[in-house]
Amino acid sequence: MTLLPFVCWVLILILVCVAGFFSASETVVTGVSQAQLYNKRNDARAVALRALQENLGLTLSSILIANQLISQSVTAVATWLAIEFLGESFLPITAFFFSLFIVVYVEIVPKLIAIQNPVHYALTFSSLLTTFCRVLYPITRFLEAVARASLRLIRIKVVSTGRIHCPDEELRGAIDLHATGGVEEAQERLMMKSILDLNEVSVGQVMVHRKKLEMIEVCAQPEEMIKKILSCPYSRIPLWRTNRENIIGVLHVKTLFRALQHVTHTPEATVDPVSLASPPWFVPESTTLFDQLQAFRARHEHFALVVDEYGALMGAITLEDILEEIVGEIVDEYDVTASGIATESDQSVVVDGEILIRDLNRQFNWELPEEEAATIAGLVMHCARTIPEIGQTCVIHGYCVEVLKRQQNRICQLRISSHKNASAAK
């Protein structure tokens, strides 16, 4: 009988240590990132821990079940000791101090220790935790099934749980977290975020619209054709016949000049632009920039024509357009200087209607919606549900937009300012 209290205290100490182990395990399993484990992908312990994270719901359920069983066991043994040696009158005081003891030494202390070096702790005990989760697997599954059935009774549907972290959001958060605020760091941060956006932006949002697309009619005179090619900043030019929608090929400037050089040395030879042109490559406007970039690499091409769901020509997308989405505007000696954006003294911005919304958002750090239209004029007409008159204003997501110029059914120029500034001016 004299050894029984000693055995009970030893049992309590062991159970507290085991409970602390599971409490710390809960912290490190959710706290260690996949990126940290990927750097140790050749370590079997890291592989085991990644498997636990892939089934995070099941892992956490097993840890919580174990913690609850151990805590209840510790409470039962401590209650028996209190009644046996102190009497029932001291039971409330004993329960209070023992609950405080469990909170501090089972929950807080193990988590503080584990958070100091979560990767080391996680790798050290990953095998033991994996074995434990396998042992408790039947019990965990049964209790989860009971919990899900209970939730269904009150019309709450629970989907299968996996990892709680979203890799894309983790990357975006890490990019912002490590920003120092400098100009160069801001540009680097924008480039890294742009790479993550390639899967969310379609070619229709960044393409060169057909109105701006340089094209040549196959029936044009050679002198007129060469003059237009020399004035064009692009190296690939679509050829059309009958109407501008009927694209029959894409002519590479270098191929044409090679043929002209041959004509110079062989006077009887002639140049047929159609025979020199490559077949046109059409892509739907809903294609993401990431998919289009992969397609460019696979086909070893830099130019594609964009069509809508009805097959009508919408514009063209080039490899340079996609790269500019990542690194910003690329200007060479043959590019025409971009115009159409001017900042006024009152901090308002006067823009051409054909300016892309994405360009405005990137340049001024705005948050204009890009889902409804590609250009700012298209967004205004979408929000107004009509073609606004000159002088008409509307507020779009906190930005006051005023129509300055209109030509027939086309909005040519607008003034954009923040809604607060516009209200203050009035």
Q: Are residues 365 and 230 in the same domain?
A: no
pLDDT of 259 reads 79
389 part of a folded domain = yes
Strand 282-284 to 303-307 pairing: parallel
The chain-wide mean pLDDT, for the chain, equals 80
How far does CA 100 lie from the centroid of its chain? 44
335 part of a folded domain = no
Q: Give residue-wise pLDDT tens across range 198-215.
A: 888 889 888 888 888 888
Q: Give residue-wise pLDDT tens across range 249-265.
A: 998 888 888 877 776 66
pLDDT of 214 reads 85
Judged against a pLDDT cut of 90, whether residue 337 lies above it is answered with: no
286 part of a folded domain = yes
pLDDT of 265 reads 60
Q: Are residues 84 and 13 in the same domain?
A: yes
Q: Are residues 224 and 296 in the same domain?
A: yes
Reading the block at residue 390, the tokens are 């000159």
Judged against a pLDDT cut of 60, whether residue 112 lies above it is answered with: yes
Judged against a pLDDT cut of 60, whether residue 164 lies above it is answered with: no
Say how many domains are in the chain. Answer: 4
308 part of a folded domain = yes
50 vs 22, 37, 41, 45, CA distance in Å?
A: 17, 7, 9, 9
Top pLDDT among 136 and 186 is at 136
Range of the domain at 192: 167-197
Q: Are residues 42 and 63 in the same domain?
A: yes
97 part of a folded domain = yes
Q: What is the mean pLDDT of residues 97-118?
A: 84
Q: What is the mean pLDDT of residues 42-56?
A: 80
Q: Are residues 188 and 312 in the same domain?
A: no
Helix (H) or strand (E) holding 316: strand 313-318
Contacts 24+ apart (CB under 8 A), 215-223: 215/239, 215/240, 215/244, 215/247, 216/240, 216/251, 216/273, 217/241, 218/248, 218/273, 218/274, 222/271
pLDDT band of 426, cuts 50, 70, 90: very low
Rounded to whole angstroms, the Cα distance separating 366 from 183 reads 17
Judged against a pLDDT cut of 70, whether residue 66 lies above it is answered with: yes
Q: Are residues 299 and 224 in the same domain?
A: yes
pLDDT of 158 reads 67
Q: Are residues 322 and 350 in the same domain?
A: no
Q: Are residues 297 and 401 in the same domain?
A: no
Whole-model pTM over 0.75: no
Q: Give residue-wise pLDDT tens across range 375-407.
A: 888 888 888 888 888 888 888 888 899 999 988
Q: What is the mean pLDDT of residues 17-37?
A: 80
367 part of a folded domain = yes
